[in-house]
Amino acid sequence: MRQVIGAATETLVAAGVASPRVDAELLLAHVLAVPRSRLLLIDDVAAEQAVRHAALVARRAAREPLQHLTGLAHFRTVELAVGPGVFVPRPETELLAGWAVDAALLVTDRQPVVVDLCTGSGAIAKAVAAEVPEARVVAVELDPQAAGWATRNLSGTGVDLRVGDMASAADDLAGEVDVVVCNPPYIPWEAWESVALEARDHDPDLALYSGDDGLDAMRVLERTAARLLRRGGVVGAEHAEVQHEAAPEVFRSAGRWLAVRDHPDLTGRARFLTARLG
């Protein structure tokens, strides 16, 4: 087994994969249908399994997302089916989801209402529904293919999935929402070449790019959140590190938000903003 993982790791290192050893082990665990933590208990890998593993490693070396190869993404306490046509949820977005969970838990005098805009795979909505089961959770996704993945992931969770534009898909909830959360597209078109190959070649453009400055969707979100939230309700949205001033300014300049602030991820990089409707 060590030889199999070692050879795979070398292949992934040469290909520039960010976490070669981890990916090699996760792919082998997938082939063997065991948790990664149990690999140390396995001495030998059958020839057929080694061939399957090598094929997956070659695809990963070509920068196909790990989650597409395993068909699964882990996000906080939930698992998500992912593949071509849907944005693969990133670990850093778990902090935004955690903020939404905490904000929903602060609503104790009624059923909290949470709307997840640009839900993609349904990651944030599913996490909130799992961790705040008393909440009413609504998820919105524009892309039909991504919505298909969200339908699969949100089945049985009680989340109300709406397929449509975030600007209008939840108009029936105007003034009734406690928490709006969103991981919108935020990459400027001109930054295309700097995007990691896994995202650039495999994530949907609709989930990545948002106008010349990357903030077109953020501006729509600001207006939508203002319409959906109760007075005193809160909004949280992810953004790029370089937008740590520009993204919050979208909300500050609107003149209707209080306590606009930015939050770092676990590496200290600016990651998401929050604001309260005045």
In the 8-state DSSP scheme, what is residue 110?
Answer: S
pLDDT score, position 216: 97
pLDDT at 193: 77
Q: What is the pLDDT of residues 20-41, one digit of tens each?
A: 999 999 999 999 999 898 888 7
What are 169-210's pLDDT values in tens digits? 899 999 999 999 999 999 998 887 778 888 888 889 899 999
25 C-beta neighbours (distance < 10 Å), count = 20
Where in the chain are all domains bearing CATH 3.40.50.150?
Answer: 76-277
pLDDT confidence of residue 190: 83
The set of residues, in sequence order, having a beta carbon less than 8 Å from that of 82 and lying 6+ positions away, is: 67, 68, 71, 72, 73, 88, 89, 121, 149
The single residue listed with the structure tokens 């778990």 is 94
CA angle 105, 108, 113 (to 5 degrees): 65
pLDDT digits (tens), the chain, 278 positions: 788 888 999 999 999 998 999 999 999 999 999 989 888 878 788 889 999 999 999 999 999 999 999 999 999 999 999 999 999 999 999 999 999 999 999 999 999 999 999 999 999 999 999 999 999 999 999 999 999 999 999 999 999 999 999 999 899 999 999 999 999 999 998 887 778 888 888 889 899 999 999 999 999 999 999 999 999 999 999 999 999 999 999 999 999 999 999 999 989 999 999 999 99
Q: What residue ranges of the chain are covered by domains with CATH 1.10.8?
A: 2-62
Distance CA 23, CA 63 (A): 11
Does the 76-277 domain belong in CATH 3.40.640.10? Answer: no
Identify the pLDDT of residue 69: 96
Architecture of domain 2-62: Orthogonal Bundle (1.10)
Residue 260: CB atoms within 10 Å: 18
Q: What is the pLDDT of residue 191?
A: 82
| Strand ranges, E, within the chain | 72-75, 78-81, 113-117, 136-141, 160-163, 177-182, 229-238, 257-264, 270-277
Task: Please state, in angstroms and rounded to a whole number, the distance separating the CA atoms of residues 247 and 216.
Answer: 10
pLDDT of residue 228: 98
What is the C-alpha separation between 50 and 192, in angstroms, rounded? 36
